[in-house]
A and B are shown apart, each in its own frame.
Chain A
Amino acid sequence: MKLKTLIKGIAGGACLSIAATMSFAETTMEKIVRTGEMTIAVQTQGPPVSFVNKDGKRTGLAIELARMMAADMEVELIIQDYDWKGLIPALSSGKADFIAADMTPTAKRHMQIVFTEPVFFSETIAFAPAGAPFASWEELNTDGVSVAATQASSWADTARKVLPNAELKEFAGGTAQAVQAVVSGRASAGLSDKATIAGFMSSIEGLKVLEGELAREPLGFATRPDSIHLLLALDNYVRLIRADGRLDTALDYWWNSTAWEADNK
């Protein structure tokens, strides 16, 4: 009887171990195939990358690209909305399969998460009040000039590198705070990307974009280091929609123009 119980126990334990091993061995893509659901982490940031439109629907360049991919894969897309600080913990903890946001794939960040090939490129530009005595961004690199940028952003990094003489003011809470600081006279000028500022320019009067680009950065989506199959699928999809023209169409609508405003604002 005791031997029988022991054998049963060993068999049960072995089954549990196999089940656990199978569960741990499942890749992110296998999970998507099994459940028919693809979960993405997106950032609460504002147009044109990720925002809630006039109909209360979350949309934007990153959202629509992920939606297009989910439709082509015939899986359901689940969107989880996070502050920037919450994106990577959501990915690392397995709450999201990948991050669909405009992240700069820096060397340091690549040591923790894996980025897709660039989905689009961002041009860092400077903006200032319309009456400000600056024509180009180079003129900001002067003592007594203050430059506003989002806290701990790539724009703040750019300001440290190319505008060492200007005072950098890092505002938490995104580009809206930097724009507010410039409009209210709390900062002489601000830095952000071209597409985001184009969105603000159409709704806030009294701003001008200074000549020239401070930096040009590739932006991509991110996966966990062990999600190789999904990473390859994302890279493949970017190549696919670039070849058939759908990526350019999306970029022209969302990123290179303000055409999205008519349908969403």
Chain B
Amino acid sequence: MDWLQYYFNFRIVGQYTDVFIAGIGQTLWISGLCLILSLIFGTLVALGRLSTSPLIWRPVAGYIQFIRSTPLLIQIYLVYYGLPSILPIGNLLDETQTGILALTIHTSPYFGEIIRAGITSVDRGQIEGALSVGMTPRQALFNVTLPQALANVMPPLLGQTAVLIKDTSLLSIIAVFELMGAGLRMFSETVIATESYVTTAVCYLLIYSMMLVISGILQNKLGGKAWQAN
């Protein structure tokens, strides 16, 4: 195996195992929490966007357009440096919490638009059927519409989640240590680019593969037996 060592130095990578494990842990924790929050707020954004009241859907549409038209880097800066000057609570949040907030603000509209497409894809008859058996509109939404909508849009949600995981690397501009930071630390100390960057990429690939498995399980669970038969 010595010839392999010539192309990829596992010995040096091994010296940074703890740094990469810490980086993976931090990336998983940040992106996992952002994912949950973005799904919750994204659902609210989707429902707001589907509202018939202009007082609700217009501001929501404005928020979506603002987030879509501005770079994430600037949004992170605005939340990190701008929030404390607007709200005193901004100073109470540390770098990681601020990063999670910024990423959630950024990702929710994207999730919202995907979930909105999912909701509109659910057959109208399903909702009417739920209401005709005595469900309230809220029960019909949470028990019939949303589970099917989420199952239908699982592939684009997975794609957006992959973007979210990679976006965590931008949090290094506000001093949040994550997986990319681990790779950069190894590179700065050893100046071996291939090992530093390839190891980082493999770690991101592992996280993505894990997401793929989890989303498959969720898709089967949410869609139910009827969906699995499709």
* Given known A108-B190, A112-B190, A185-B91, contact A173–B185 (CB-CB < 8 A): no
- Give residues of chain A (111-143) contacting chain B, Cβ–Cβ below 8 Å: 111-113
Cα distance A112–B189 in the bound complex, in angstroms: 11
**Is B193 part of the binding interface, using a Cβ–Cβ cutoff of 8 Å?**
yes
B172 contacts A172, C-beta separation under 8 Å: yes
- Nearest-CB distance from A250 to chain B (Å)? 26
**Is B191 part of the binding interface, using a Cβ–Cβ cutoff of 8 Å?**
yes
CB contacts (< 8 Å) of A184 on chain B: these are: 81, 84
A85 contacts B184, C-beta separation under 8 Å: yes
Cα distance A171–B173 in the bound complex, in angstroms: 5
- Give residues of chain B (180-224) contacting chain A, Cβ–Cβ below 8 Å: 181, 184-185, 187-193
CB contacts (< 8 Å) of B84 on chain A: these are: 184-185
CB contacts (< 8 Å) of A152 on chain B: these are: 181, 184-185, 187-189
Residue of B nearest to A91 (CB): B191
Of B91, B173, B191, which contacts A172 at CB under 8 A?
B173
Give 1 or 0 for each of A146-174: 1 = CB within 8 Å of chain B CB: 00100111000000000000000111110
Residue of A nearest to B85 (CB): A184
**Is A177 part of the binding interface, using a Cβ–Cβ cutoff of 8 Å?**
yes
A171 contacts B189, C-beta separation under 8 Å: no
CB contacts (< 8 Å) of A187 on chain B: these are: 175
Residue of A nearest to B182 (CB): A152
A109 contacts B191, C-beta separation under 8 Å: yes
Cα distance A189–B102 in the bound complex, in angstroms: 24
What secondary structure prevails in chain B residues at the interface with A?
helix
**Is B141 part of the binding interface, using a Cβ–Cβ cutoff of 8 Å?**
no
- Give residues of chain B (55-80) contacting chain A, Cβ–Cβ below 8 Å: 80
**Is B95 part of the binding interface, using a Cβ–Cβ cutoff of 8 Å?**
yes
CB contacts (< 8 Å) of B80 on chain A: these are: 186
- Nearest-CB distance from B115 to chain A (Å)? 32
CB contacts (< 8 Å) of A209 on chain B: these are: none
**Is B177 part of the binding interface, using a Cβ–Cβ cutoff of 8 Å?**
yes
A113 contacts B191, C-beta separation under 8 Å: yes
What class of interface size applies to chain B in its complex with A? Answer: 20 to 34
CB contacts (< 8 Å) of A172 on chain B: these are: 172-173, 181, 184
What class of interface size applies to chain A in its complex with B? Answer: 20 to 34
CB contacts (< 8 Å) of B192 on chain A: these are: 112
- Give residues of chain A (180-236) contacting chain B, Cβ–Cβ below 8 Å: 180-181, 184-187
**Is A61 part of the binding interface, using a Cβ–Cβ cutoff of 8 Å?**
no
Cα distance A61–B193 in the bound complex, in angstroms: 26
B191 contacts A112, C-beta separation under 8 Å: yes
CB contacts (< 8 Å) of B193 on chain A: these are: 88-89, 92
B184 contacts A88, C-beta separation under 8 Å: no
**Is B28 part of the binding interface, using a Cβ–Cβ cutoff of 8 Å?**
no
A170 contacts B191, C-beta separation under 8 Å: no
**Is B153 part of the binding interface, using a Cβ–Cβ cutoff of 8 Å?**
no
* Given known A88-B193, A109-B190, contact A169–B175 (CB-CB < 8 A): yes
CB contacts (< 8 Å) of A84 on chain B: these are: 188
CB contacts (< 8 Å) of A170 on chain B: these are: 172, 175, 177, 181
Cα distance A171–B76 in the bound complex, in angstroms: 13
Residue of B nearest to A89 (CB): B193
A residues within 8 Å of B by Cβ? 84-85, 88-89, 92, 106, 108-109, 111-113, 148, 151-153, 169-173, 177, 180-181, 184-187
List 16 other contacts, CB 8 Å, given A184-B81, A185-B84.
A85-B187, A88-B191, A88-B193, A92-B193, A108-B190, A109-B189, A151-B172, A151-B184, A152-B181, A152-B185, A152-B188, A172-B173, A177-B173, A185-B91, A186-B81, A187-B175
Give 16 CB contacts A-B under 8 Å: A84-B188, A85-B187, A89-B193, A92-B193, A108-B189, A109-B191, A112-B191, A151-B185, A152-B184, A170-B175, A171-B172, A180-B81, A184-B84, A186-B80, A186-B81, A187-B175
B residues within 8 Å of A by Cβ? 80-81, 84, 91, 95, 172-175, 177, 181, 184-185, 187-193
The 4 closest A-B pairs by CB, nearest first: A152-B188, A169-B175, A172-B172, A89-B193
